[in-house]
A and B are shown apart, each in its own frame.
Chain A
Amino acid sequence: MSLNNDDIDRLVTTYREDFTPDVEQGLRRLRAEMTVVRPLPTRSRPTSRRRFLRFAAAVAVVVACVAVFFLQSDGRTHLSNPDQDLAIFTLPDGSSITLQQGATASYDPTTYNVSARDLELSGQAYFEVHPDAARPFLVQHGEGELRVTGTAFNLRTDGELMEVEVSEGAVMLEQHGKSMQVAANECGLIAPGQPMVHKPAPNLNHHAWRTGELKFDHTPIDEALTFLYDNWAIRCTWANDQACHYTVSGNYRGGDAGAVLADIAKLGGATLRALDATGKRYELSGPCTE
């Protein structure tokens, strides 16, 4: 049996609306059979040794962060990842959250998983939400809210901005009473004072901070640079505002953002210069090659 993304969406929707334990079990069986859109590090076998190394490191981080898990100051449970590449936490309902370095999440342990699963996020994280139609999983941020019953997605918050890229299932984005469904391999964006944006994300490049995989397919250079910023907060600007315009295609694995930047700069014949030692600020300069 083979399923495409639409089939999965349809099944997931049905499951959410008419919940019975049988359906849930059936769905689990179904999931076990189907090929996931993108192998998640927690589930799939690593395809390269380098990735496996990263995974091993991540597992070590989980152990290191147990203490962080229980730190409480305002009655809420705070999860944070101050210094590791990734930190994976398991929430009381069985959902898991992978925090990027510098990201924090919090929830109220007294209300969490009672009638809903409310969570707040600052920074970027990857969620694998345990299916439970009776208790929706809600992430509030700024003007927007993300509502989900069971799926996997990447969520990035930056200031008031909230951006979700779904790898499995579908999520609902809500802003000012309007809602928008974002399905697998799609990206949704809520920015204050602006209408919600909905666009395809076939390559799941917003997951790259975690998976190490970037895939460009006729991607304009400025969009490629945006992915570097979204994933690793690498800011790359054009010297004297004189940008070159070209598109790139290619696969990158390993998550070395600096190396990717060096390569895509070279494709355009541009010179790359690090502006400081943090590895987060760069400048590109021409001449632009044809």
Chain B
Amino acid sequence: MIRPRLLLLLLAVVPLFLTAQSDSERYGLPRRVMPLEKALIRLNEAGANLSYRPDQLPNLAIRVPGGKRTLDRWLNFLLRDTELSYQRGAAGYLVLLDPNLHSRSFNLYGSVTDTRSGERLIGATVQLAGEAVGTHTNEYGFYTLPTPGGRHRLRVTYVGYSPVELEFVLRSDSLLELGLIQNRELPQIIVTANGTVSETGSYLETGTRIGRAEVAQLGGPGGEDDPLQLARLLPGVTSGSDGVGGVFIRGSEAGHNLILLDGVPVYSLSHAGGLLSIFSNQAIRRIDLYKDALPARFGGRIGGVLDVHTRDGNLYQNEFTIGTTLLSTQVAAEGPIQEGESSFLLTGRYFWAGNLLRRFSEEYKFRRGKSGFTDYTVYDLNLKVNQRAGKRGRVYLSVYSGLDDYANLSVQHDTLEPVISGETVFKHAKVYSRRELVQWGTTVAALRYNHVFNDRTFGNFRLSYSNLATESAFERYDSLTEVKNRDVAGSIYSGHYDSGIRQLGLAFDGQHTLGSNSLLRFGVEAATHRFDPQLASGKVSLETFATARESLADTVHRPLQLVAYGSQEGRLNNVHYRFGLRTSVWRNDGKSFLSLSPRALLAGPLSERTDWQLSYDRTVQQVHLLNSFIIGLPSDLWVPSTRSIAPATAQQFSGKLKHRVNAAWSLEGSLYYRRMRNLVSYAEGAQTSMSWLTNLSQGRGRAYGLETLVQRNRGKLRGWLSYTLARSERRFGREINQGNPFPFRYDRRHALNVLLIYQLGEHTTLTGSWRFETGLAYSLSTELVDNFNDPNGPDLPVTNERNGYRLKPNHRLDINLHTILGSKSGRFTHALDVGLYNAYDRHNPVYYDTRREWTVRDNRLPEETQSYLQIYIAPLLPALSYQLTISGSGR
């Protein structure tokens, strides 16, 4: 018993001794992968005195290197990737949560996807249940939510999907990939403005969402679903009759809209002059329409924004859809390339109605004593491929290509009644011919790479290509020939418009969460452009221009644009704010334009049911769309800002109040005032030049209005009624309208839109829409006079006042019955649409055509007269569409 006695003697130094001993004692662990808890148990078995709460241990497998180490070293190693720490307790070592966990903030981040298809959901709400903390997924389905540590309940919601709630303990910045399941049985909710449900974060979502399902319910001409049909029912959004001329948002022009297809600017959005849009509902996931409060990432145009997102393609299941309407055949195929990793989507539309048109038009013209035909070819293709790139990235390739090719040829030979003057008999032969050729093709491609840098930083790199090539030509020939003497009287008038734009861009768009409720969005863009606008018209035959084109090579412009932007959003008490600034440099023709576009948005709740929003936007547009204003052909030319044409700018002040009456009904009212500078227009009647540059006039404009909306979101009958009172006017230099202000061509004083969707059955809806708009402000020319300055140029139309004539109002009723029939196995889904476009056959004028005629009256020599012909596009049209979707076996 020597040792006990020795130890008793050492009693005085025991505390010190024990500490030193346990610090230096080494414990062994085997070399293998083991759960954290197992490793702690092993250490205890080896003699350590460790205690912990098993419920706090993360489910973590640790690759233990093996060997003997002191307890401190083991714990430092084992707890490295956890939020656990250790400390010396009274009876041993304690492994426990960071005591400051609740006071620390972490980031929850990831993406929200459709569980079935893997499609990323844009604008899904991610919020902490019962706490005033929430956010939305961005355009890439990505979210970041700053969250204090500890236990939380997370609620994820998205329209048309079953909400998901999950509970978790947050101990570190965490990647949380969320999946939602589509629920067709849910009561449908039309979301016209984000945030119909009052949610945190929704105050800064200023876009209006146009979803696929609503578009399908609305139908369209001939049965063609068209997202823009729905967009045009929104207050403040209008267009020419039957969509001709494009979309006009709050009194700005068609060329003022920023149209982004997967982030790439598109220069034309129309098929058939605007009757249909290039956006096939098969390929589109959603469109966000912004009228005001533009995020800083949008720029380069001074009007509204149409942010179009295409679908990704199903990641888990093959789907094949084939369908037809009265105008086109559509095919769509999508599915995984490698399940869960990559997928593709290919959609195509071919308008076969064009082939019928040629045959019918030949017959039609023959019956009217003419020869000739009308031919129209339209198709478009969308391709999207996406591939997961590592754990944190995804690569997307999207390509759109579409073409419109229109030709119209009419020749008419006629012999007028002989005129007897004394003994001479004058026999006149009348030859009339019309040639119109219009072709435009858009190609847009984007290669994007999304990367989650870390829990708070997300980035998107984009390489983009956008190309619009348009060509239009016309020739009008009217002649009267005295057969015997070969005296020719008459006119020939032709024009050739050609526009080529090519844009190649490189961009980075990033998002960084600064802290709770504070988000930074920033980016840089660089783009090179190539513009080759050609414009020629005159009293010559069309062939003249074809040769002249070669000599105009110097009209090519190659501007370079550099952009940087940043915005910060956050919240101060009850006021949500977003401040942004966009800077761009445009260099063309040896001159640089630097422009600053500040943006501001303030919004918040006024009371429990009422929200307010105030915004200011300054926008700059360096490319101009020149509209020809007499003929209705799409002879629009895109031209860049040059040494002599400054970029257009606009400022908009806007305010909005929204009141939720109850869960179903809401009221909305907006006021806006918009000022535009450096707008570009052709000088009066001057479509004469071989070079577009010399005959342009710059002016200013303003637009203001009141928009109101009553909306019912739930129930069997849903829809909205909107009324807009608006004014849009322009003022140019003396060369246009003598410097007097004149109304914008699409200045719609009153606009009333009604959309009603009635749920007939679970999968059947009956939709009716009616729209009424004040008629077009039109420059009606009373006569054509010779151009004295340019005898070879075309005759000039004489108008009393620019856009001084109001055409009769536009109104139209569309009805559509939409039903979906599914087989029990879910393999086959049929979608059927039956409807009427322009149900009461209203002839809404697009423009008036001037025609010259020769008539013989009272046996006198033929007299030349002018007549006007109201041109309209769409009479009463039936709409019929059928789609069959075959789903492969998936997971």
Q: Which residue, of B37, B48, B49, B53, has the highest number of chain A Cβ atoms within 10 A?
A: B53
Supposing A52-B7, A267-B96 touch, asked if A250 and B90 sit within 8 A by C-beta, the answer is: no
Supposing A249-B40, A289-B97 touch, asked if A263 and B90 sit within 8 A by C-beta, the answer is: yes
Q: Is the CB of A252 within 8 A of B53?
A: no
Docked complex Cα distance between A248 and B150 (Å) = 19
Residues of chain B contacted by A53 (CB below 8 angstroms)? 4, 7-8, 11
Docked complex Cα distance between A74 and B97 (Å) = 59
Residues of chain A contacted by B41 (CB below 8 angstroms)? 249
Q: Is A37 an interface residue (CB 8 A)?
A: no
Q: Number of contact residues on A: which range applies? A: 20 to 34
Pick the residue among B3, B8, B47, B92 that contacts A252 (CB under 8 A). Answer: B92
Residues of chain A contacted by B47 (CB below 8 angstroms)? 47
A73 to B: closest C-beta gap in Å: 36
Q: Is the CB of A247 within 8 A of B55?
A: yes
Interface residues in B12-54 by Cβ distance below 8 A to A read 18, 37, 40-41, 44, 47-54
Residues of chain B contacted by A260 (CB below 8 angstroms)? 90-91
Nearest CB in chain A to that of B47: its residue: A47
Q: Is B425 an interface residue (CB 8 A)?
A: no
Q: Is the CB of B50 within 8 A of A251?
A: yes
Q: Is the CB of B89 within 8 A of A246?
A: no
Supposing A251-B92, A256-B91 touch, asked if A246 and B53 sit within 8 A by C-beta, the answer is: yes
Q: Which residue, of B18, B37, B54, has the highest number of chain A Cβ atoms within 10 A?
A: B54
Pick the residue among B55, B91, B97 that contacts A254 (CB under 8 A). Answer: B91
Nearest CB in chain A to that of B3: its residue: A52
Q: Is the CB of A259 within 8 A of B7?
A: no
Nearest CB in chain B to that of A246: its residue: B53
Residues of chain A contacted by B92 (CB below 8 angstroms)? 250-253, 263
Q: Is B821 an interface residue (CB 8 A)?
A: no
Pick the residue among A253, A264, A267, A269 that contacts B49 (CB under 8 A). Answer: A253
Docked complex Cα distance between A50 and B91 (Å) = 13
Q: Which residue, of A218, A251, A259, A262, has the highest number of chain B Cβ atoms within 10 A?
A: A251
A287 to B: closest C-beta gap in Å: 9
Nearest CB in chain B to that of A256: its residue: B91
Q: Is the CB of B49 within 8 A of A251?
A: yes
Docked complex Cα distance between A50 and B50 (Å) = 17
Q: Is B526 an interface residue (CB 8 A)?
A: no
Q: Is A258 an interface residue (CB 8 A)?
A: yes
A205 to B: closest C-beta gap in Å: 14
Q: Is the CB of B51 within 8 A of A216?
A: yes
Nearest CB in chain A to that of B4: its residue: A56
A259 to B: closest C-beta gap in Å: 3
Supposing A50-B18, A256-B91, A259-B89 touch, asked if A250 and B4 sit within 8 A by C-beta, the answer is: no
Residues of chain A contacted by B44 (CB below 8 angstroms)? 215, 250-251
Q: Is the CB of B169 within 8 A of A263?
A: no
Nearest CB in chain A to that of B152: its residue: A290
Q: Is A268 an interface residue (CB 8 A)?
A: yes
Q: Is B94 an interface residue (CB 8 A)?
A: yes
Q: Is the CB of A266 within 8 A of B94?
A: yes
Q: Is the CB of A249 within 8 A of B54?
A: yes
Docked complex Cα distance between A126 and B89 (Å) = 30
B78 to A: closest C-beta gap in Å: 14
Q: Is A29 an interface residue (CB 8 A)?
A: no
Q: Is B151 an interface residue (CB 8 A)?
A: yes
Q: Is the CB of B7 within 8 A of A250?
A: no
Residues of chain B contacted by A216 (CB below 8 angstroms)? 51
Q: Is B99 an interface residue (CB 8 A)?
A: yes
A254 to B: closest C-beta gap in Å: 7
Docked complex Cα distance between A290 and B37 (Å) = 18
Interface residues in B83-103 by Cβ distance below 8 A to A read 89-92, 94, 96-97, 99, 102
Residues of chain A contacted by B8 (CB below 8 angstroms)? 53, 56
Nearest CB in chain A to that of B92: its residue: A252
Supposing A52-B7, A246-B55 touch, asked if A266 and B50 sit within 8 A by C-beta, the answer is: no
Chain A 192-228: CB-based contact to B (< 8 A → 1; otherwise 0): 0000000000000000000000011010000000000
Q: Which residue, of A258, A259, A289, has the highest number of chain B Cβ atoms within 10 A?
A: A289
Nearest CB in chain A to that of B5: its residue: A56
Q: Is A49 an interface residue (CB 8 A)?
A: yes
Nearest CB in chain B to that of A263: its residue: B89
Nearest CB in chain B to that of A254: its residue: B91
Q: Is the CB of B53 within 8 A of A247?
A: yes
Q: Is the CB of B40 within 8 A of A263?
A: no
Residues of chain B contacted by A266 (CB below 8 angstroms)? 89, 94, 96
Docked complex Cα distance between A251 and B92 (Å) = 8
How many B residues face the partner with a CB closer than 8 A? 32
Docked complex Cα distance between A252 and B7 (Å) = 22
Chain B 43-70: CB-based contact to A (< 8 A → 1; otherwise 0): 0100111111111100000000000000
Docked complex Cα distance between A59 and B638 (Å) = 105
Docked complex Cα distance between A290 and B169 (Å) = 8
Residues of chain A contacted by B169 (CB below 8 angstroms)? 290
Q: Is the CB of B91 within 8 A of A263?
A: yes
Residues of chain A contacted by B48 (CB below 8 angstroms)? 251
Residues of chain A contacted by B37 (CB below 8 angstroms)? 249
Residues of chain B contacted by A49 (CB below 8 angstroms)? 7
Q: Is the CB of A247 within 8 A of B54?
A: yes
Q: Is the CB of A252 within 8 A of B49?
A: yes
Docked complex Cα distance between A289 and B96 (Å) = 10
A252 to B: closest C-beta gap in Å: 5
Q: Is the CB of A267 within 8 A of B52?
A: yes
Nearest CB in chain B to that of A262: its residue: B90
Q: Is the CB of B7 within 8 A of A267?
A: no
Docked complex Cα distance between A280 and B89 (Å) = 20
Docked complex Cα distance between A8 and B64 (Å) = 36
Residues of chain A contacted by B150 (CB below 8 angstroms)? 290
Docked complex Cα distance between A249 and B91 (Å) = 13
Supposing A56-B4, A251-B48 touch, asked if A258 and B53 sit within 8 A by C-beta, the answer is: no
Q: Is the CB of A250 within 8 A of B97?
A: no
Docked complex Cα distance between A115 and B552 (Å) = 130
Docked complex Cα distance between A8 and B366 (Å) = 112
Q: Is the CB of B49 within 8 A of A248?
A: no
A141 to B: closest C-beta gap in Å: 32
Docked complex Cα distance between A260 and B90 (Å) = 7
B55 to A: closest C-beta gap in Å: 6
Residues of chain B contacted by A269 (CB below 8 angstroms)? 99
Docked complex Cα distance between A212 and B50 (Å) = 15
Q: Which residue, of A47, A249, A269, has the highest number of chain B Cβ atoms within 10 A?
A: A249
Q: Is the CB of B53 within 8 A of A267?
A: yes
Residues of chain B contacted by A218 (CB below 8 angstroms)? 54
B642 to A: closest C-beta gap in Å: 65
Residues of chain A contacted by B18 (CB below 8 angstroms)? 50
Nearest CB in chain A to that of B6: its residue: A49
Docked complex Cα distance between A264 and B51 (Å) = 8
Chain B 764-796: CB-based contact to A (< 8 A → 1; otherwise 0): 000000000000000000000000000000000
Q: Is the CB of A250 within 8 A of B96?
A: no
Q: Which residue, of A218, A253, A263, has the highest number of chain B Cβ atoms within 10 A?
A: A263
Q: Is the CB of A250 within 8 A of B55?
A: no
Nearest CB in chain A to that of B102: its residue: A289
Supposing A266-B89, A290-B150 touch, asked if A250 and B49 sit within 8 A by C-beta, the answer is: yes
B70 to A: closest C-beta gap in Å: 17
Residues of chain A contacted by B7 (CB below 8 angstroms)? 49, 52-53, 56
Interface residues in B284-318 by Cβ distance below 8 A to A read none
Pick the residue among A246, A251, A259 that contacts B90 (CB under 8 A). Answer: A259
Residues of chain B contacted by A52 (CB below 8 angstroms)? 3-4, 7
Complex A-B: 22 CB contacts under 8 Å = A50-B18, A53-B7, A56-B7, A216-B51, A247-B53, A247-B55, A248-B51, A249-B41, A249-B54, A250-B50, A251-B49, A251-B51, A252-B49, A253-B49, A256-B91, A258-B90, A260-B91, A266-B89, A266-B96, A267-B94, A268-B53, A290-B97
Write the residues of chain A forming the contact surface with B, with a CB cutoff of 8 angstroms. Answer: 47, 49-50, 52-53, 56, 215-216, 218, 246-254, 256, 258-260, 262-264, 266-269, 289-290
> Given A248-B53, A250-B44, A253-B92, list of 10 further CB < 8 A pairs?
A47-B47, A247-B55, A248-B54, A249-B53, A254-B91, A256-B91, A266-B96, A267-B94, A290-B97, A290-B150
